[in-house]
Amino acid sequence: MFCSRCGSQVVVGAPFCAACGSPQTPGASQYANPGALVPRPAIRCAKADGAKWIGQGWDVVKSDLPMFALHTVLFSLVSGALPLILQGPMTVGLQYAIMRRAYAGRTEVGDLFKGFNYAVPAIVAGILVWIFSSVGFLLCLIPGLFVLAALQFPFLLIFDKGMDFWPAMETSLEAAKKDWGGYLVFLLLQMVVVFVGFLACFVGLLVAVPVMHAATVAAYDEVFGFEQRTIDQARAQA
């Protein structure tokens, strides 16, 4: 059978999923669709505050710069091996590592690969984000920016709320629609961070890339809020 939350294989009769720790319902279908029955989370914060989120992201990353630099190197190497396939799970892993550092006070190399517990929805979400943003940029620069601004949160919604790829993308869009201008500014600030890191050569990107993702995690925490079970799981690993 498979976990109804993350989709990982679970031993028949096991009370909890070994991958994500969520309780399993006895007699549930062994072909349960992860995220199929997950309700849409409420949007707790309608206004985007990009400058604040960038600052919060920097605070998390600077608290453990060597580890996040290592995360970034591994993220780039693994994602680059099969970009369209591995980008999604690795993004989930990097954002999980950032969340764990923020809530549990630590992160380790293994956190970066937690995204493979959500491989199918993460892979599909990664491919769709790439397709939609590429089409947007081909049509004109502005549509591409709107796509990236709208799809800030699908990977976090997949691992935190247990949503499937399409509901996660729709929910991320709904959040952005509350404040298109604010989310576009947030995206542009993230792009500035990465550009500044690029100007500082490779070493700068080792800081800029995790700060960009950490800002997304900070934004998600304010807009949706992490589930208590996700926080408990992160702390239980510490």
Mean pLDDT by runs of 10 across the 238 residues of the chain is 56 67 56 55 93 97 96 95 93 97 95 96 96 91 92 97 95 96 97 93 90 98 96 86
User: Which pLDDT does position 229 carry in this prediction?
Assistant: 93
Helix axes 141-150, 180-199, angle to 10 degrees: 100
CA distance 45 to 33: 29
> What residues are paired with 9 via a beta bridge?
2
User: Which pLDDT does position 35 carry in this prediction?
Assistant: 46
Encoded tokens for 26: 């006895």
Task: Tell me if 108 sits within 8 A of 66, measured CB to CB.
Answer: no
User: Which pLDDT does position 21 carry in this prediction?
Assistant: 64
CA distance 149 to 176: 7
User: Which pLDDT does position 36 carry in this prediction?
Assistant: 47
Quote the pTM value: 0.84
User: Which pLDDT does position 31 carry in this prediction?
Assistant: 37
User: Which pLDDT does position 237 carry in this prediction?
Assistant: 78
Q: Name the residue type at position 14.
A: A
Encoded tokens for 91: 């993004």
